[in-house]
Amino acid sequence: MPYTGWAGFAYDAPLPRERVGALLVECARRGIRVASIGTDLLDLYEAASRAAPIAGRRWVLEHVPTLTAGEIARVRDLGLVVTTHTNRYIHKDGEGLARRVGAAAEDTIVPLRSLVDAGVPVALATDNVPVSLFHPLWHAVARVDRASGRPIAPAQRLSREAALRACTLGGAYLTFEEDTKGSIEPGKLADLVVLSADPLTCDESALKDIVAETTIVGGRVVFERAGDAGTVTRGP
């Protein structure tokens, strides 16, 4: 604080906590979906759910720099969906977070493995730069802090398959589109990419550098990366 407004934040326009609680209750009663950053509103989510159950509504918990085992259980019981900001909380600030929480609590930092094991739906996200989702894929698998080069909470790594699922089916579940998107199968949209490398077999450090060579949307090629010249062609 104060936010300057560069990203649309208004530093002087927060609601008092009691009004936020009342607003969430009305959202629960009227079927309005809510998303919030961090865990500050978990108790208000729970209060809203007691007034009008939100299980199945897929309210969202965003960024999640840290989550304890108890908080993960509460997230699961509320039926929340989690989106991440691994660009910041693992890659950019992971070492600083580790110092703040201490070695005994390091596994609370972006605890992807614990969330998945608890059955919480997780969708990877970039939030900002770099914009490629292959960076968060790499963060989820390698969990490397950019300054120290060491893995942050390595026990919370996801397998490549699980990380890809969080990028694809996880994102589709977040937006209530899992019946039409997120996997290539009969009855779903014919949207797919041909990648520059196989994310299941390439070197771990190369995951972040994968790009789309060809993109197909609705069965039509809409993007093709030309060969040695490095130029890009786009479909009509």
In the chain the domains, ranked by start, together with CATH numbers, are: 63-181 (3.20.20.140)
Beta bridge partners, 224, equal 214, 233
Residues 6 or more apart whose CB falls under 8 angstroms from that of 211 comprise 132, 134, 195, 196, 225
Indicate if the pLDDT at residue 223 is higher than 80.
Answer: yes
- Each residue's pLDDT tens digit, 112-124: 999 999 999 999 9
Residues 6 or more apart whose CB falls under 8 angstroms from that of 193 comprise 212, 213, 214, 215, 216
CB 213 within 8 A of CB 194: yes
Mean pLDDT across 176-185: 95
User: What pLDDT is recorded for position 229?
Assistant: 47
* Range in 7-21, 56-70, 72-86, 94-108 the model is least confident about: 7-21
CA atoms within 13 A on the CB side of 127: 17
Confidence band of 226 (pLDDT split at 50, 70, 90): confident
Strands 35-37 and 122-123: unpaired
Indicate if the pLDDT at residue 157 is higher than 70.
Answer: yes
First-to-final CA distance of the chain = 45
Strands 212-217 and 81-83: unpaired
Indicate if the pLDDT at residue 139 is higher than 80.
Answer: yes
Indicate if the pLDDT at residue 53 is higher than 90.
Answer: yes
Which of 223, 222, 220, 200 lies closest to 210, judged by CA?
Answer: 200
Average predicted confidence (pLDDT) for the chain: 92
pTM of the model: 0.91
Mean pLDDT across 121-136: 93
